[in-house]
Structure 1
Amino acid sequence: MMPRRSILLFAGLCIVLAAVLAVGTIVVVTGRGDAGSASRQIGSTGQPSVGGPFQLVNQNGQAVDQTLLDGKWSLVFFGFTYCPDYCPTTLGMLEATKRALGDRADDVQIIFISVDPGRDTPQALKDYLSSDGFPEGVIGLTGTPEQIRAAADAYRASYQKVGEGEAYTMNHSLTIYLMGPDGRFRSALGHDLGPANAARIIEQAMARG
């Protein structure tokens, strides 16, 4: 496997806030990949314009679209399999969040959308998501560069390739998007919110429907 280089994640904060402040109030602080980084939800109201149509491929090579969200509460986030820290940490946090939800976890699915189509083939996603310590049943999605860009734009997610050659890395935003069973956005979760707080926000959203 090619060596993994540290990520310096850039803030997609301005893009996210511009999209949501006109229709609600969501404050998400996204820090850089250093000891002082922070990403936390302050609160949310309204129905921001986040999410929408996409055409991607899952880890089994099957074409999927936004109807994948129908009938389930979905935790959607963007990352890549060569991510050395934030993506594995986020997957671990979401596994603990589902445990904290108890029986309600059956209604929640985790969707991992790659921002690295050059390396993240369906098979690469399948191998990565079957690793020990990751939640069972995570749905990995990839596609062409154009398809991934369209999906990221729909979710107001930012990413950028950094470096050249085999050891390049990807900067990407850290937000986890909670989508309702109707496929509409409910809340933004910080990647370091913690399982208990994340479960509480999901339960509150479920109670509101």
Structure 2
Amino acid sequence: MGEDREPTGLLGLLDEASPAHAGRSAAETARLRAEALLSLGASGLPDAALPFVVEELESGSEPLLVAAAARAARGRRPVDPRLTRPLLQALRNLAERDDTVSFGSPRPAPGTSGTTPLSEILATLRELELSSAARDELRDLARREGPLFAGAVRTALEDVAGPAGHCCGGGMPATPALDDGRQAAVGPVPREVEVEDQDGRRLALADFFGHAPTVVAFFYTRCDNPRKCSLTITSLAELCRDLADRLGSVQVAAVTYDPGFDIPARLRRYGSDRGLPFGPAVRMFRTVAGWDLLRAHFGLRVGYTASVVNRHGIELFLLDGGRVVRIWSRTRWAPADVARQLGGAR
């Protein structure tokens, strides 16, 4: 797929904010990222590429990118056992959809063969020495109902799982700690950044962040991947429940990537539908001034075609004294882990 590039340039193509993605459609950016993943896999899959492989396996919704991530994982010899959990999550995410994709052309010629996310995931799992827990999970998947897990697929899952009683240790290796190289600003948010909350109240975002340690997530209501924005806000709601007796001394905020579309009524409806308990310490915001300043301040992983988001990452920040002190990026974050981190804030 495409011309050869140096690994550093390929890694740049995986950044949603790369100028290479500006103005492109979501499908075009997906194909560029798939090309980069496959090329990085062919060069041995450097550590810096792991966060992007994990993100696509855990949270990806596009068959082309999930398949490319699974194939890229085989670029490591041996395959990194810490990718077991993300690979199994990718299997669970497939549900009943396993589209045929082609790495060579957006529209392969009739009669040419392609591949599927499922076949790429299974090929990668076959190269791992799976623990008993991973084998048990594969056997459970093989018993699922539905067309995706029927016939040959069920046989393949059982083959990868191996016979009962065969194991290589009990538990699964933890997913690797991820650092996608983000450089967030060290100072407070610029005062020029003005926001409007879900009730139409306007303020300088720096004033809100200055009140107390704050967890900040980014999202947008038009996101069509339920494992990204919708799950992010649902997880924020769970975090708020965990922090119920501390809200006020800590804060939770969600800021939209799509301030022109996400007017206050849309913010309130989106948050309420996912259980977010709005109040003085729990708010959703859209920028009304200074969006580019805010985007640069956090080093946000988001790209646009015109004013529409064409791709974004998963990103969550912990601020203390208005400054970034912790970032969760690419991988799914657990509300309990964030709550523990808040315990160390002032």
TM-score grouping bracket, smaller chain normalisation: 0.5 to 0.7
Closer, same or farther: CA 48–152 of 1 in aligned 2, 3 Å? closer
Over the aligned positions, Cα root-mean-square deviation in angstroms equals: 3.2
Tell me what 1:52 maps to.
Answer: 189
Indicate yes or no: 2:277 matched with 1:136: yes
- Whole-Å Cα distance in 2 between the matches of residues 41 and 51 of structure 1? 24
**What is the TM-score normalised by the length of structure 1?**
0.68
Deviations 1:77-96 (A, max 9, x none): 22101123211211222222
Residue 130 of structure 1, CA deviation: 2.1
AA matched with 2:303: Q
Give, as a single letter, the amino acid of the residue that structure 1 aligns with 2:186: S
Q: CA deviation at 1:143?
A: 3.0
Q: Which has the higher strand share?
A: 1
Distance 1:105 1:83 in 2: 28
| Higher RCO (CA < 8 A, seq sep 6+) | 1
Tell me, which stretches of 5 or more residues in structure 1 are unaligned? 1-9, 15-27
Match of 2:215 among 75, 80, 98: 75
Who is 2:335 aligned against? 195
With over 3 angstroms needed to count, the CA separation of the structure-2 counterparts of 1:101 and 1:112, relative to structure 1, is closer
1:57 partner letter: E
| Aligned-partner Cα distance in 1 for 2:214–2:341 | 13
Map 1:94-113; keep pairs closer than 5 Å: 94-101=236-243, 103-113=245-255
Post-superposition Cα deviations, 1:54-94, rounded to whole Å, max 9, x if no partner, equal: 22222222221111112222111221011232112112222
1:185 aligned onto 2:324: yes
* In structure 2, distance between residues paired with 1:39 and 1:152: 27
Distance (Å, rounded) in 1 between the aligned partners of 2:238 and 2:187: 25
- Alignment CA distance shift 1:154-1:148 (3 Å): same
CA contact (8 A) 2:16 2:311 kept: no
Give the number of the structure whose residues are more often helix, by fraction: 2
Structure 1 residues 102, 139: closer, same or farther in 2, change over 3 A? closer
How far apart, CA to CA, are the structure 2 residues paired with 1:102 and 1:115? Answer: 27
The amino acid of 1:95's aligned partner reads: A
Count of aligned positions: 174
Q: Distance in 1 between matches of 2:17 and 2:291?
A: 19
The SS at the match of 1:141 is: strand
Query: What is the distance in 2 between the residues matched to 1:120 and 1:39?
Result: 34
**Contact 1:78 1:172 (8 Å CA) reproduced:** no
| SS of 1:11 mapped into structure 2 | coil
CA gap of 1:193–1:127, structure 2 versus 1, over 3 A, is closer
Aligned-partner SS, 1:140: strand
What amino acid is the match of 1:156?
G
Residue number in structure 2 paired with 1:159: 302
**Distance in 1, Cα, partners of 2:271 & 2:315:** 19
Counterpart for residue 149 of structure 1 = 292
CA-to-aligned-CA distance 1:123-147 (integer Å, 9 cap, x gap): 221222222x322124121135x62
- What is the TM-score when the length of structure 2 is the normalising length? 0.43
Q: For the residues of structure 1 that align with 2:240 and 2:201, how far apart are their CA atoms? A: 25
Gapped runs of 5+ residues in structure 2?
Answer: 1-13, 19-49, 61-65, 67-85, 91-174
Which residue number in structure 1 is paired with residue 127 of structure 2?
A: none
**Given residue 195 of structure 1, which amino acid in structure 2 is its aligned partner?**
P
Task: Identify if the C-alpha distance between structure 1 residues 13 and 162 changes in structure 2 by more than 3 Å, giving closer, same or farther.
Answer: closer
Kindly, what percent of the aligned residue pairs are identical?
19
How many Å separate the matches in 2 of 1:160 and 1:50?
24
1:40–1:63 CA distance, 2 compared to 1 (3 A): farther
Secondary structure of the equivalent of 2:332?
coil
8 Å Cα contact 2:219/2:232 also seen in 1: no
What is the rounded CA distance, in whole Å, between the counterparts of 1:98 and 1:41 in structure 2? 25
